[in-house]
Structure formats: C-alpha cells, structure tokens
Amino acid sequence: MSFKFHPPLYLICLILTVALGQVSLAQIGPNLGHTDRWMKAAKAAIERTDYKTANSIFRNMIDSGQPLPEEMPYFFAETLFQLEQYDNSSNFLNKYLELNGFTGEYYKAAQELQQRLESPLREILDCQLCDRRGYRFKTCFTCHGDRQLEQDCHYCKGKGVVGCSRCSGSGMITKVNIFKIVEYYECDRCHGKGRLTCPVCEGNLKEVSSCETCRGSGKLSSEVICNHEEESHDHEL
C-alpha cells in the first residue's frame, strides 16, 4: 500500500529541496564568497609559512560572525600548532573532527596533527611554570607572590568593633516582669556598651586573608608562551 504513495511524496520532497536550496543559496551566497576569499588567502599564507598572517585572517573570519567553511577549523588548528598555541590548536582540531567526523576531507591530516600535538600537550601538563594552556605564570602584582594579604577586616570594615546583637547596640535589655512592667537591664554581653570587640580581627582592624587577584595562588597567567624551562638567575638580574 505504502509503495503507491512514494512517487508523489518523492516529487514533493524534490520540489521542496529545490525551493529551499534556492532560498538558502540566495541568503548565504554572498557571505560564503567572502569567507571563501579569506580561506584562500589564509591557505596561501600557510603555504608560504606565514602563520602570523594566516592567524589574523582566521581571527577576522571568526569575528565576522559569518558561516565558516567546514575545513577552516583544521587549517586554523595547523596554524595555531605552528604558533605554538597547542591548547588552542587542540580545541580547533577537536572542533574539526566533531563537525566532520572521519568523512572530512582532512581527516587523515587532522589525525596526524593530533599525534604531533600529543607531546607538546604533555609537556604543558607536566610543567609547573605555566597554566594548562601553556602560558607562563608571572608573580601576582597584588600580593607579590605571598598568596595572602593583610587587609582591612571584612567583618568590622576596619573599625575593630561591631554592634552587639543581643541588645541591638543599645546596651540595654528589656524584660517584662510579673506585673507586666517593662524593666531595663544592662546588657550582660557588651556590659552596657552596645558594642563588642570584633570577633574576627579581635580589635586589630586588619585580617590576613587570601589574595583575591590570584585566588590565593600567588601567580597569574601571562601572555608569554612557556618554554618549560626555569629562568636562570643571571637573566633575572
């Protein structure tokens, strides 16, 4: 029974496909032309090992927000590899494989790049001198590497005293006696002062707490790609 319906259904599908195809071509046609030109320029730059130029073309392509050619993540990954941005390279390579699978035109080349990435990525993981993207750490400018800082006490805001919570800062406590008469007593917690020595800084006004700039690590990532080698002291002087 269902076989009978195939020809008309197929025809409808065909007409729809053609119609939709024309619409989408009309919409993205000019954009694709643009990115195609960029893609050609980037490939030419790679050809002459001008990876810096290729890098900026690829970044312009991304910034433009236009649809990217499916081969783009592979070529960008290769460019980033050459510029020693291994973590970023790996991200774009994974993107390429994710989008194109093993049917992609550059599947073999992508696999080969994946193998070349293994060793530099392992070096980054093993190195204590750089972050997990491979950028060299620098000493935190806020705590100068001390990881913690003496700051105004956060609890009393550097005043050294806080209001007594039992008497709400009045120094007096009221009680209603059996004759329903309100009696006033001196607050025994603050001895009538209405204030207490700050329980956090104990009146020192300061507290030592972990540095917020570096989240207590003493170091920050820099823009410098790490060579995984300890800097010599001669160099620092």
Report the interface residues with Zn ion, using CB under 5 A: 127, 129-130, 140, 142-143, 153, 155-156, 164, 166-167, 187, 189-190, 198, 200-201, 211, 213-214, 226, 228
Nearest-approach distance from CB 172 to Zn ion, in angstroms: 8
Residue 82 C-beta: closest distance to Zn ion, Å: 18
DSSP secondary structure letters along the chain: -HHHHHHHHHHHHHHHHHHHHHHHHHHHHHHHHHHHHHHHHHHHHHHTT-HHHHHHHHHHHHHHTPPPPTTHHHHHHHHHHHTT-HHHHHHHHHHHHHHHGGGSTTHHHHHHHHHHHHHHHHHHHH-SSB-TTSEEEEE-TTTTT-SEEEEE-TTTTTSSEEE-TTTTTSSEEEEE-TTS-EEEEE-TTTTTSSEEE-TTTTT-SEEEEE-TTTTTSSEEEEEEEP-S-PPPHHHH-
Nearer to Zn ion, 138 or 166 (CB): 166
Least spacing, CB of residue 103 vs Zn ion, in Å: 36
| Residue 236 beta carbon to Zn ion: minimum distance, rounded to whole angstroms | 17
Of 100 and 139, which CB lies nearer to Zn ion in the complex structure?
139
Complex with Zn ion: residue 46 or 140, whichever CB lies closer: 140
Q: Indicate the residue among 34 and 138 with the shorter CB distance to Zn ion.
A: 138
